[in-house]
Each structure stands twice: as C-alpha cells, then as structure tokens.
Amino acid sequence: MWWLAVLVAIVAAVGAYATWTVTRVERLHRRARTAEAALLTKLDDRAETVLKFVGRPGFEEAVALALSVVAVPAETRRQRELREYAENDLTRALRELDPGHAGAEDLEAANRRVALARQIHTDFVRDAVASRSLPVAVMLRLHHRLPRPQYWDIEDPLH
C-alpha cells in the first residue's frame, strides 16, 4: 500500500512541474509579444519625432525615411522585413545629422527609448526561445502551439 502513496506523490510532482513549465513558457511568449508591441510603439514615436522637422534644412532624408517607417505596418513577414530596412535607414540618417541642431535632445531621448525597448524585446525573445527547448515543453509540443517569437534585426540607435 505504501507504493500507491509514493506513486501518487510522483504523479502529483510531475504534474505540478509540467503545469509550472507550461505556464512559464506561455508567460515568456506573452511577454515577448508585449515587448514587441512596445518596441513598435517606440519606433513609431521616434518617427513621429523626426516628422516634427518637416521643412527644416538638412532633415529632408530623415523625414522621408520617417514617412516610410510610418507607412509600413509589421503584420506579415515581408512587411516586417521592409520595416526593418526602413528603421535601419532612418537610424543611419539620424546618425549623419548635425548633433547641435535644434531638437537634438528630443531625437536623442527617442533613440534612447528605442534602444531600451529593443534590448528588453531581445531579452524576452531570447528567454522565450530558450524555454521552447525545455524537455517538458518539447514533450508537450508547445513549440507547435505557440508561434516562435522573432528578433527585430534593427541597428542600435545609440551606436
């Protein structure tokens, strides 16, 4: 009879661990999606900050690129790639601007927010992708049920 109690304890422990693992994997994926939404918001905010400089000399290229960033949604894979290219072009154009221009503090603050949101997103995606390879997650085939989070291949605006 003691073996039945041991068997119930083992089954309960395995079930609790499996439940905890599934919850953790789902939570990490949800955080990665939320961080991606926050990153997109900060990228849009940066583009809107650049659009404030419409008509100022020296900002023509940056404003045109900001318009292309705002115009491209990130819903499909192809749109996402186009958005990454547009973001990288905008980052390069902003680096080439004179650092002493009016509004430099606003652009620098927007770039800092983008860099922070990018780092947070990258960390959450890394953790979510790593959680997909946990033995319980593989055994329960969570990688088929949950879409794999994707990194954003954009340049760091602070470097």
| Residue 49: both structure tokens together | 């900050």
Asked if residue 141 has pLDDT above 90, the reply is no
DSSP sequence for 78-143: HHHHHHHHHHHHHHHHHHTS-TTSTTHHHHHHHHHHHHHHHHHHHHHHHHHHHHTTSHHHHHTTHH
Q: What is the pLDDT of residues 28-57, one digit of tens each?
A: 999 999 999 999 999 999 888 888 888 777
- Give me the residue spans of the domains in the chain: 2-145
- The backbone region for 150, taken as left when phi is positive above 0, alpha when psi lies in -120 to 50, beta otherwise, is beta
What is the distance between the alpha carbons of residues 35 and 53, in angstroms, rounded to a whole number? Answer: 28
Give me the percent of the chain exceeding a pLDDT of 70.
Answer: 99
pLDDT tens-digit readout, 11-32: 888 888 888 888 899 999 999 9
Q: The whole model's pTM is what?
A: 0.84
pLDDT of residue 76: 84
